[in-house]
Structure 1
Amino acid sequence: MRKQTLLIVDRDCLFRRQLIDEVKQNQYPAIFWEASNGLEALRYIDALQPDVMFISVRLPGINGFEVLDRTEHLPAVVLTSECTTDAAKAFEYDAVDYLLKPFTTKRLQMSLQKLWCKNNDITDPLQDKAALYPRRILVEKGNRLTCIPVSEITHLKADKDYTWIFTLHNESFLSTQGIGQLMQKLDPQQFLRIHRSYIVNLDHLKELYKDIHKTFITLPNNVELNVSRNYLPAIKELMY
């Protein structure tokens, strides 16, 4: 099995070392290189022509997007960031994935799976299953239909026989379908039901905390949702 050249670009040395350890634990075959800023990354990309690159959006000197704009060799890219505001732009650069720090081992495994399949031109059974789920959905807005990337959905809220869909851009759309119908159309690896009235996108989950007898999660745009006791086991499976 050929080892891939993997370049990690991040200003935080500790983060780079931790990421390398995580990737090794997942038995991803790679030769690792590190860079701490954008200009250094450009030199490494030109010299090494890596197969894979994890690159932070926020870098000293020039940022991650500027690095991708300037380089001629473009490896399979996973962009990392501490905030969600860069997510939409990340996919304009055909990024394989976008990781929000701090990310879980399970979330990293998903990224590595996508990278391996992309660089080896193979189809993974899990990816085949994911392909059954739409990347975009159409919802009504006035007398028009608006296209929403599923990756930008933060959560869904039941409203009787209808469902409110909320996005990273603090927008909300009312779907004529019930929350149960929508749940069947969404990838269960990405969307989790935490309450009979709520479904959340795990990619945008920020925090989980307890307040006396209740458990809450926080999402972008200062959203705070109560986790129903019946759905707590599914949440606990995410804990490491």
Structure 2
Amino acid sequence: MIKAIVIDDEPLARMIIKGYLSKESDIEVVAECGDGFEGAKAIQAHNPDLVFLDIQMPKLTGFEMLEILDHMPHIVFTTAFEEFAIKAFEKSAVDYLLKPISEERFEQALQKFRGLYQNKQPQKALTALKEEIEEEVLERIVVKNGTQIKLIPAQQIIFLEAYDDYVKIHTKDGMFLKNKTMASFEKQLDAKQFVRVHRSFIIKVDQLAKIEPMEKESYRGILLNGEKVSISKSGYARLKQTIGL
């Protein structure tokens, strides 16, 4: 039996999808959720094969929810907005459905899923899919600590530090780990506020107190909280350009 979960903040949308799925003898809806937090917990608990996921939800968007998953099921995105549908399609989802969802279009999405599922063709690797979930400007970061989920506004970041396969996010509230690359953060964060000053460091410009010269055309940045970060020659050039020196 194929296990499915429906995640949408609109009760009517969940009812319509469940109604369509009720006609499929080999699919069981094991959970329905009204927001991304509930959805992440349900996916962890049920390990579903297929998830119908709304993109625009309060508290946690569909894309943000995917970032904190340990297990990536096959995803069919649902949305009322064309621009999000296009973006969803680019994120290697099985399919995307524009609301209002017709039964004919729903069946087409199911056929695409069945083709992948029956041929044991896995969803795109979780890490690769996470790397592709990128907004034009990252306004907040979702991190998971055990069962706790925290949303960190970008404005609260002091600096980022590379840490093996993770990035340390340093804030006034403490340090948090995120399984993501520095390159992704560099691409997503507002370039007017954040500068990659070294392969291991991205700083928020307004947190920089002073710059000290070191040897071999390298520098050291002293932040307002007293932390010290390395600044490479190329990082120094980017920093000067950003702050207008």
Q: Give TM-score, length-normalised by structure 2.
A: 0.47
Larger radius of gyration: 2
TM-score computed with the length of structure 1 as normaliser: 0.47
